[in-house]
Chain A
Amino acid sequence: MIAFILQRLLQSVAVLFAVGLIAFSMFRFAGDPVNQIVGVDTPAAERIAIRKDLGLDDPVAVQFLRYAGNVARGEFGTSYQFRQPVAALLAERMPATLELALCATLFALTVGIGMGVYCALRRETWLAKLFLAISLVGISLPTFLIGILLIFLFSVTLGWLPSFGRGDTVRLGWWTTGFLTASGLRALILPSVTLGLFQMTLIMRLVRAEMLEVLRTDYIRFARARGLTTRSIHFGHALKNTLVPVITIAGLQLGSVIAFSIITETVFQWPGMGLLFVQAVQNVDIPIMAAYLLLVAAIFVTINLTVDILYTIVDPRLRLSAGRAR
């Protein structure tokens, strides 16, 4: 078991290394950071000196190895545009992204499961058909368009909800939260719906299909034969068995919700890590881009690692084969 985990950990490090390498080989296509740092009338000689100071003239391999060495020592560098440590910038932006991801996932789960169950149980009703139609929209419309449509409807036309930002936040140690103020909660709604809509439709369709499957199984028929109430059959037996794959998917999707919040954060000017990344790309702020990509890779790797470990605990067969491999 320990050998299995160690092996997986080593693989994870290799994945991170590969992500870093690919990222670094692409940065030189992003443009020249120096122009974003200096004003227009900075003499050419000074620009060249800055390039040299930042080590941008070195070959990509040298730049990458230097960066990898720094990261190994826990040093993520200094942002070119803000001239502040990247780690501190990311830490400051992380609560916003995580709170948004959490709310989006909660929204996707509750609404997705609710609508999925309804569609499975009342297949022929017009409401079920409407839900399916909505899910089609959720899957096919791009995120930025959904976001802008929501802003147009709920902010500009109806005037109910704010169109940008996080509202007022409360600082708890290093964490800032929008959960404790009314304006913070109001500000969470539109971005959460925008970000969670795709996951919601996914979960809804999954629940519907699984539920229909489960309702056809023998033990549900036996349950009916035993004379249990429909309510307890549907929610006590059928739904419970439907949820196993749903939870797996939702867990795995959490990574992509965090990683792909970039677009939602840009549309709503949500001060999270994704927005920081987009700004960094425009300004060719290599330290921020590199650290963000590594962080996202680390999140995916951690989730996958956890899932792998959980599987071995749940499924003895995996444990056995791992033992044999040793």
Chain B
Amino acid sequence: MLQSRIRALVSTVGLVAGLGLGAGLGLGAATPALAANVFRFAFQGDIKSLDPYSLKESFTIGMHGAVYDSLITRDKDLKLVPMLAESWEVPEPTRWRFHLRKNVKFHDGSDFTADDVIFSANRVRAPGSNFTTNVPADSEWVKIDDHTVDMVLKTPNPIAAYQFSTWYIMSKSWAEKNGAVAPTLPSALSTSYAALHENGTGPFLVTEHQPGVRTVFKKNPNYWATVESNLDEAVFTTIQNDATRVAALLTGEVDWIDPVPLQDAQRVNGSGTATVMAGPELRTIFLGMDQSRDELKDSDVKGKNPFKDIRVREAFYRAIDEETIAKRVMRGQAVPSALLIAPVLYPRAAEFKRPDYDPKRAKALLTEAGYPNGFSLGMDCPNDRYVNDEAICQAVVSMLARVGVKVNLNSQPKAKYFAKVLAPSYDTSFYLVGWTPSSQDSHNILFEIAGCRSGAKAGRGNWNLGNYCNPKVDALADQVERETDETKRNAEIKDGFDQIQADWGFIPLHQQALAWGVSKKVTLVQRPDNMLMLYWVSKKP
């Protein structure tokens, strides 16, 4: 006690003396009492809320997954495997039966039963939830006994359970006791108990949560399964600044960071203590073109919209050299893509090939379409959303300039960008977006990205900012939604993607690479969905 006071005094003197920086303080290097094996990790963003229905964002979902369990989870290869549901079957196309695991307890000691599943199914679809699409909207949940529960659908749906892996099960009695029965509305004036406290069934407990600063996870000694991780504790901190985050990894103050900026990858690899773990992400970066307005905005072409001409769309596609973007702008940390979906998510993806880069043909097509000298248009681009997003757009601008198209680039922070390009105004002629289908299924692409924005079916074309519209694609999307035979379904999906390509509807660019900085003491699993799952993290003590 006295010693530490003296140490503190020495440190204060050192501080005031200012110049004698390190000397006096080397004494104070004593580390606080540590639990046996602590994993420290830093992400550029926050864990804002502990409520698992509050924000659909990969990192946050992964963190909630350390504390909460789902009925079905995804394994290291993204395959669906049992978790709280030991098994399930589909006795008839519209009825799914889940057999729940017995002897599972929530962190507060109460038992996990069918009531909790039904409660969670309702809560996740309530207003204020960010995960309403995870459980089919038309499904009804029926308790058969304490450990059997049925999901009854109105129409057959082969992918009804695809998003169950990020739908975490909460405790009914706990939520009722603490006034957290409904998710918090964005306009709510009071703090939700569930935002600051957790009560899951998962392998870790949260013992401290300061939103935006730090969150401490401790091993759950009563977990129902054996856990691969050997951690006793995991401490999360936000480090927003790129340089500071890399420095923290290099000094060993943290064992994991995300992301490592592209330009720092070599430095991390050269450090000897940490490496960059890179792998393709599920997100596809692509360009879209406004194909709905009769006159293109911010363009010198008056009275018509050049993008309504398929030749112009093909010309744009062929004028952009994605290989160079992947190699130069992305420093090799990107995989050029022929599809709007990552290849791991669609078994027949290998059958698609990206049309060749061909500026001569692009120029010829533009001439044929009546623009021998090109034309000018505006392009919208975020500058803080995807890896090197602004630089990609700049490269696209200069590539299009070579075929005579003058692009006026408008790069903005995401907060401004999305306000401009999303509903209701869809104020853009040419834009860059990155998309991960939350269901991890192609239907999502055919429906939300490439579906007609006619409003005939809620949600269709929600993110189709340029309103590419082909009724054949919509019809195929509806078939895919119902089709339960996998081979047939994959064939229909292929038809859909072929149709989009035949229309030159979009310009897929690449899947950007994940870039985690990982200490050499740590072993973990990097899934392409960019979620860090603590139960797969181990650290050499």
- CB atoms of B133 and A41 under 8 A apart: yes
Q: Is B239 an interface residue (CB 8 A)?
A: yes
Closest to B5 in A: A180
Of A147-155, A218-226, A308-316, the stretch lying at the interface with chain B is A147-155
Most chain A Cβ neighbours within 10 Å, of B12, B192, B240 = B240
- How far is it, in angstroms, between the C-alpha of A44 and the C-alpha of B424 when the chains are bound? 7
Q: Is A261 an interface residue (CB 8 A)?
A: no
Q: Is A193 an interface residue (CB 8 A)?
A: yes
Most chain B Cβ neighbours within 10 Å, of A44, A47, A179, A186 = A44
- CB atoms of B15 and A103 under 8 A apart: yes
B204 to chain A, nearest CB (A): 21
B298 to chain A, nearest CB (A): 19
Q: Is A325 an interface residue (CB 8 A)?
A: no
In the assembled complex, which residues on chain A have CB atoms less than 8 Å from the CB atom of B244? 148, 151, 163-164, 267-269
B473 to chain A, nearest CB (A): 19
B168 to chain A, nearest CB (A): 15
Contacts of B506-534 to chain A: CB distance below 8 A: none
- CB atoms of B243 and A148 under 8 A apart: yes
- CB atoms of A83 and B4 under 8 A apart: no
Contacts of B127-176 to chain A: CB distance below 8 A: 130-131, 133
- CB atoms of A156 and B247 under 8 A apart: yes
- CB atoms of A269 and B239 under 8 A apart: yes
- CB atoms of A50 and B187 under 8 A apart: yes
Checking B4, B18, B57, B214 against A107 with a beta-carbon cut-off of 8 angstroms, the contacting residue is: B18
Q: Is A42 an interface residue (CB 8 A)?
A: yes
Of A8-16, A27-35, A61-69, the stretch lying at the interface with chain B is A27-35
Q: Is B372 an interface residue (CB 8 A)?
A: no
- CB atoms of A185 and B12 under 8 A apart: yes
- CB atoms of B21 and A40 under 8 A apart: no
B282 to chain A, nearest CB (A): 13
In the assembled complex, which residues on chain B have CB atoms less than 8 Å from the CB atom of A275? 212, 240
- CB atoms of B7 and A156 under 8 A apart: no
In the assembled complex, which residues on chain A have CB atoms less than 8 Å from the CB atom of B418? 31-32, 35
Known: A192-B15, A269-B237, A283-B415. A54 touches B187 (CB 8 A): yes
- CB atoms of A83 and B186 under 8 A apart: yes
The interface bits of chain B over 398-438 (1 if a CB of A lies within 8 angstroms of the residue's CB, else 0) are 00000000000000111111110011100000000001001
Q: Is B358 an interface residue (CB 8 A)?
A: no
In the assembled complex, which residues on chain A have CB atoms less than 8 Å from the CB atom of B440? none
- How far is it, in angstroms, between the C-alpha of A268 and the C-alpha of B240 when the chains are bound? 9
In the assembled complex, which residues on chain B have CB atoms less than 8 Å from the CB atom of A121? none
- CB atoms of B8 and A182 under 8 A apart: yes
In the assembled complex, which residues on chain A have CB atoms less than 8 Å from the CB atom of B48? 81-83
Q: Is B191 an interface residue (CB 8 A)?
A: yes
- CB atoms of B248 and A54 under 8 A apart: no
Contacts of A201-221 to chain B: CB distance below 8 A: none
Checking A32, A50, A78, A282 against B419 with a beta-carbon cut-off of 8 angstroms, the contacting residue is: A32
In the assembled complex, which residues on chain B have CB atoms less than 8 Å from the CB atom of A106? 15-16
- CB atoms of B415 and A111 under 8 A apart: no
- How far is it, in angstroms, between the C-alpha of A29 and the C-alpha of B19 when the chains are bound? 44
In the assembled complex, which residues on chain A have CB atoms less than 8 Å from the CB atom of B415? 30-33, 35-36, 282-284
Q: Is A23 an interface residue (CB 8 A)?
A: no
- Please list 25 pairs of residues, one from A and one from B, whose beta carbons are closer than 8 Å in the complex, sorted by A's number: A31-B412, A31-B419, A39-B131, A40-B438, A41-B462, A44-B422, A54-B186, A54-B187, A78-B189, A83-B48, A83-B49, A84-B211, A107-B16, A151-B244, A152-B247, A159-B251, A164-B245, A183-B31, A192-B15, A193-B21, A266-B240, A269-B244, A271-B210, A276-B212, A284-B415
Q: Measuring CB to CB, which residues of chain B are less than 8 angstroms from any residue of chain A?
A: 4, 7-8, 11-12, 14-19, 21-22, 25-26, 28-32, 42, 46, 48-49, 54-57, 130-131, 133, 184-192, 195-196, 210-214, 237-241, 243-245, 247-248, 250-251, 253, 384, 412-419, 422-424, 435, 438, 448, 458-459, 462-463
Q: A31-B415, A41-B133, A182-B29 given; name 8 further pairs at CB < 8 Å.
A: A31-B418, A32-B416, A32-B418, A40-B463, A106-B15, A110-B18, A156-B250, A164-B244
Pairs of residues from A and B, 8 with the lowest C-beta to C-beta distance, nearest first = A31-B415, A39-B56, A32-B419, A44-B423, A182-B28, A53-B187, A31-B416, A160-B22
